[in-house]
Amino acid sequence: MGLLLAPAAIAQETARLDIGASSLISEKKGWWGRPSLELTLTLSQAVPYRAVIVGDPPRLIVDLKDTDFDELKPSQLFGHDSVPGIRWGDFRQNWSRIVLELPGPYDITSAGQRTLPPQATIRVALDPVDEEDFAPLPSATAALRNLPEPAVLPVPATPPEGLTVMLDPGHGGIDPGAIADGENEAELVLKFAKELKASLEAKGITIGMTRDSDVFVGLEARMTAAREAQADLFLSLHADALPTGQAAGATIYVWTPRADNRAAQQLATRHDRSDLLSGVDLKGKDDQLASVMMDFARTDTQPRSENFASFLTSRLALHGIGLHDRPVQGAAFSVLKSPDIPSVLLELGFITDPHDRANLISPEWRKRMVAVVTEAILGWAQDERARTAHLRQ
């Protein structure tokens, strides 16, 4: 995500909307029914963007990075009256958001950005769909485009006030996790979590642990613990057996919804609903709506999880900790499913790999790793705080 705190990055140019060359075209394909829609945005330069459909009521959301609408009004857009409403404005730091209220359920049929330097054109095409085919859960992640790596920023000495992190050492009790050469995962990750806790607390960060001894804790109890602590970040720690054919090294996982609607619905069904999404009462809503609202919350949470994953990767690389070839991967680990708490799973290494195992049991290596994760959390928190401050302006 865009971390435009570095002085060099602040000087970066902002894209401007060329409203005369932008439009919303509607085209009726039959005698009745709703028209197809095509939104064209011409910008002074290419920008990262994402497009996503959300429900209740049906809307198209287009987020544009580093884009300034100046004093432009949606009513100046050619074809603005072909939908019930259009709004736009600053969304969060360095991101602007366009919201198109749709005249019914629609689907994105294509979205793309074409550059003709210096200009760029983003086109999002929508077709009407029947109510029963309306799927407003196309994972915000899948819609993320061209997000740049974070800049390497100076790490602040102190964290923003009131920062709470929930550490989640995996497994425990009846579930020892992966076992190799007399070592077990549950014990190793607990030892690491305790060392990390001490390091973070020394920086003034409030730390919760889903377990601090060798006990079994269910996956959902881990998420609930994070919510009860009002954690700003959930960090799950593992050191699993190396899957066949996979390279060793530290690996970071973020939730991949991959249109996993059923999983979201199961989660919504199984939980006490007020437990799932703080601030929004889902009691009495049907499952479909609950999962839509969860996904809507996740459109904000997912980029924040990915942002932390980027911070972690760049810090690991910077400090020469061995990384997997694809250091950030998506996975449907249920423990990462919290819709409203940025959640990341860190495989410190693989216990079945002799080199990784030697690292994991080495106090010196763990000390380095603890320092790296501490730095990543401080850097990420600073970036989060900058965004929030901007939102309050």
50 binding Zn ion? (CB under 5 A): no
Q: Which stretch binds Zn ion (CB under 5 A): 75-83, 93-101, 125-133, 232-240?
A: 232-240
**Sign of the dihedral through C-alpha 61, 67, 71, 75:** negative
Residue 64, beta-bridge partner list: 49, 96
Q: Binder to Zn ion among 66, 240, 353, 375 (CB under 5 A)?
A: 240
Nearer to Zn ion, 97 or 191 (CB): 191
Least Cβ distance, residue 260 to Zn ion (angstroms): 20
- DSSP one-letter string for 33-50: SPPEEEEEEEESS---EE
177 binding Zn ion? (CB under 5 A): yes
Q: Which stretch binds Zn ion (CB under 5 A): 57-65, 102-110, 144-152, 165-173?
A: 165-173
Q: Any idea which residue has 């990390």 for tokens?
A: 196
Nearer to Zn ion, 238 or 366 (CB): 238
Ranges assigned E (strand) in 157-307: 164-169, 179-180, 183-184, 206-209, 233-238, 250-255
159 binding Zn ion? (CB under 5 A): no
Instruction: Report how far apart the first and last C-alpha atoms of the chain are (Å, whole number).
Output: 21
d(CA 281, CA 141): 25
Closest residue to Zn ion, judged by C-beta, is 238
Nearer to Zn ion, 159 or 170 (CB): 170
170 binding Zn ion? (CB under 5 A): yes
Tokens matching residue 51:
């497009």
356 binding Zn ion? (CB under 5 A): no
Nearer to Zn ion, 68 or 214 (CB): 214
Least Cβ distance, residue 165 to Zn ion (angstroms): 19
280-299 residues near Zn ion, rule: CB under 5 A: none
Contact 143, 185 (CB under 8 A): no
Q: Binder to Zn ion among 59, 65, 211, 238 (CB under 5 A)?
A: 238
Least Cβ distance, residue 236 to Zn ion (angstroms): 8
Residue 30 CB: number of other CB atoms within 10 A?
7
Minimal CA–CA distance to 379: which of 155, 203, 167? Answer: 155
Ranges assigned E (strand) in 231-362: 233-238, 250-255, 323-331, 343-347
Nearer to Zn ion, 168 or 383 (CB): 168
| # of chain residues touching Zn ion (CB under 5 A) | 4
Nearer to Zn ion, 170 or 342 (CB): 170
Q: Which stretch binds Zn ion (CB under 5 A): 55-63, 145-153, 174-182, 287-295?
A: 174-182
d(CA 104, CA 134): 9
- What residues line the site for Zn ion (CB under 5 A)? 170, 177, 238, 240
